[in-house]
Structure 1
């Protein structure tokens, strides 16, 4: 009876409940050696063990990734095409570079670049430029004036009228006005020449440019001035800056960009030289290679110098590869500053010029004694930057004396070094002298034009890699496709490597066609570019070579509104040849 009573008095969760399962686990104190374990508790323990194991595995994976992951260069993140062009290296480390490609630089993809304080201040000033111009014009209208008095260009109303006109005329265009200069008198009464600085919103860099135009003004309502005629881009030559010519000379020197400062930095004293730490790359097999390989290697050297906290010794003397010349022959004796912005480079990283550096080294080095300059010679790229990190020598001298490809600079940044060396792409901008030509071409079309990029050359002749390109870029095929993509009678700038100027004549009945050769005067012997490059070359004329043409041609195309490209719009072929469209 008692057992029956006990069983009847057991709660719902008793031993007969389905929540319990009898399991023999051994003797139990005070019991018959049998223990009961709830199934729910066992499931919870199993689940917790599985979750903990997954957590440990996840931590391990994250740790391995954090240790081994190396973020790619920002330059290589710009597009899949760029990644392919520089990562496709043959087993013998020779670059596969098309001769019609333009090397993008830091200003093309560094959208998060820091804004210089001066540019930020000017941008803030520009934000209110339209309001200021309107307020100035309104104030001028309320003033007392003589409408019959001759126009005085120093009158504040002139600048107010120009600001108001520009704010309205360029409202929908990509121009940002940064600052204005005081108007000066034009050649005739009623004309004033006004200069200003501006930047282009289509550029990711905060590079400034200069324009000066001629304005014809007349009295309007009240005391306000009305602008009745405006000259084209850089038509106000009285507001341009000219070089100081010889005394009593009647020849007017061409204008110059006074804001370019690409003078060579020098070491001030012997003590300063011996206190410094330098990384010196001897000329290797990259000399006279394609521009892509040159920059890839050059940035490797800059990256190692930054990693070692040293000043990089650079050679301004370049060799233009035959891949970028008309006759296919290499041309030595080119200046780095012809193609790239040396002023921006020396402001971004620590560099000295090789010629002056070698002179100072020879002059101040004492062969014996405490004043001796210490040198670490590195004969092979296989000595990694990590091995040189603690070296105390004044000069680390990498000597690339082996055979190709063992003597390529960029071999230093391969292997384990690729995980620690960051190439400073932000330091490389295109030459401002070339970009001034780009700006002037775009300015002459008032930044209101469409672009067509036609790639032909050797690609159109290679039927095996590009079976359709030649036919797809024939004059009739281009007319048929472009007229469907661009509105009629628009300014159409054609960037192309097609050598025959009249090849695009069939487009002229549909558009206002512009080609690079239409602007030859911008690099003629009377141009700003010619004058400035002649100074760099020591008085020798500098030819406007094929790589310069590619830079200008492509950059003008990049600033167009509607862009029609060869491999996206005109042809069925792939950019890098057959069966490469998805790479």
Structure 2
């Protein structure tokens, strides 16, 4: 009986709990239905400002609208190309435009050059135009001289020159606004046309520091570091006032020996420019090495020291630290015999009898000393002019090198050269290599460039003198070269012209040489072709 009583109590308890659960469930369902009804009523009657709650047509209009969206992006910060995808705005904050702005657009109102859409259109147009150029960074777009123009600056280098310093350009863009409120670039100006994007000279402290770095000479850190150094110097010789190829051939021999002996080369920064490069037709002393070659690159690549600074320290310290000099007066003593020399300074002293006093004689007959050609590069200032010329031709041109002058008049050594480089012959030779209408840069020693006028019917021809505005008295090159020359103006001499002519020619899409492509005559005269090839 006791067991039955307990079972009855348990069943009663379960029935009681089940009833309570059913009541709670009904209450929860009713409350949920009430909440749903309230939510439906709220959505049906609420008109929100949030664009994401608008119908799909408005949402589509919101995201596809371009010019009237308020895009707040800090374009005062210079961005690299990698900071954005071409044609895509970098958006920090995006707010919805007024609906009336979407349907009406004043195509004649001034262009807002700060609009990120306009800014990125200008960048896209620049990248599309200069396909063979690597862009380091773009400056902010600023207003041009008219309501529909914007100026923008950038730094760049040719893609194939991975270690080249960046050059700068600033151009003017003409922008139009369409009825649907989008923008287009309809014109890009020439090189350095966007003057309003150029930084004022009073605010180019970084550029000034860069110039100082380019021109600076190596600095001796301390007396102790100088006393522990090992040095090599060449004195005298027949290199003075020779053509620049001769000078470089000998200078590179000195560099090669210094590297082989693991010594610092003490070098004379003052050159004598041969009369073949000067307007005076006289040899000219006192030309700074840095006017022609990239000394910063040389200094960063190997150990060199200016001889003026060297002799100052040597005279003051060599006795104090017991630094000794090892004199070599015989040119034919090869570098291998000097490896065991422990004296601080090895001085090679060359005599006055040519050709036995040429520096390059030290390196002849030995394979141990290599001429480090990779250490010699054109001056950055000259290369800036090269970049500017290429930019003015939109980095898309072909080039031809035409040697004439005295060679064309010497029929004994070059019997065919004159006829093979005549305008008619050139048109015939270029027909299969250069498409009509192309920019064609002609690097030549022909003084009268009108000689090539018949080619203008086929090509857009260019010569170095066409770009004289890049080195005139009002240019950066002129002012910087004058500073380097202690305030004395520097002539844009024949070797500078030859350097730029050569560098622009070498960067053409198609390159046509005189003696390889235009004539069968030999470069060094009749019957020398096989000698040149051997």
TM-score, normalisation: structure 1 = 0.69
> Partner residue of 1:462?
410
What is the 5 A alignment of 1:201-350? Answer: 201-203=159-161, 205-219=163-177, 225-244=183-202, 258=210, 261-325=214-278, 329-350=282-303
> Partner residue of 1:351?
304
Are 1:576 and 2:524 counterparts?
yes
> Partner residue of 1:176?
134
> Partner residue of 2:342?
392
Q: Is the 8 A contact 1:140 1:157 kept in 2?
A: no
Q: Is the 8 A contact 1:195 1:212 kept in 2?
A: yes
Q: Is the 8 A contact 2:157 2:387 kept in 1?
A: no
Are 1:161 and 2:132 counterparts?
no
Taking the aligned partners of 2:221 and 2:155, their CA distance within structure 1 comes to: 34
1:136 pairs, out of 68, 89, 92, with 89
Give the RMSD, CA atoms, in angstroms: 3.0
Sort the Cα spacing of 1:400 and 1:223 in 2 relative to 1 into closer, same or farther, 3 A. farther
Are 1:363 and 2:363 counterparts?
no
Q: Is the 8 A contact 1:143 1:223 kept in 2?
A: no
What is the 5 A alignment of 1:392-411? Answer: 392-411=342-361
Deviation string, structure 1 residues 470-512 (Cα, Å, up to 9, x no partner): 1222233333433454322322221110011321122222222
Partner-residue secondary structure (3-state), 1:238: helix
Partner-residue secondary structure (3-state), 1:526: coil
Sort the Cα spacing of 1:452 and 1:402 in 2 relative to 1 into closer, same or farther, 3 A. closer
Are 1:520 and 2:468 counterparts?
yes
Are 1:433 and 2:391 counterparts?
no
Query: Number of paired residues?
Result: 442
Partner-residue secondary structure (3-state), 1:478: helix
Gaps of 5+ in 1: 1-124, 246-251
Are 1:482 and 2:442 counterparts?
no
Partner-residue secondary structure (3-state), 2:253: helix
Sort the Cα spacing of 1:378 and 1:136 in 2 relative to 1 into closer, same or farther, 3 A. same
Taking the aligned partners of 2:237 and 2:441, their CA distance within structure 1 comes to: 40
Sort the Cα spacing of 1:231 and 1:341 in 2 relative to 1 into closer, same or farther, 3 A. same
Partner-residue secondary structure (3-state), 2:371: coil
Deviation string, structure 1 residues 119-142 (Cα, Å, up to 9, x no partner): xxxxxx75x57x7123327x6997
Taking the aligned partners of 1:326 and 1:481, their CA distance within structure 2 comes to: 34
TM-score, normalisation: structure 2 = 0.75
Sort the Cα spacing of 1:278 and 1:135 in 2 relative to 1 into closer, same or farther, 3 A. same
Post-superposition shift, 1:525?
Answer: 0.7
Taking the aligned partners of 1:287 and 1:431, their CA distance within structure 2 comes to: 21
Structure with more relative contact order (C-alpha pairs < 8 Å, separation 6 or more)? 1
Partner-residue secondary structure (3-state), 1:410: helix
Post-superposition shift, 1:195?
Answer: 1.8
Taking the aligned partners of 1:364 and 1:152, their CA distance within structure 2 comes to: 65
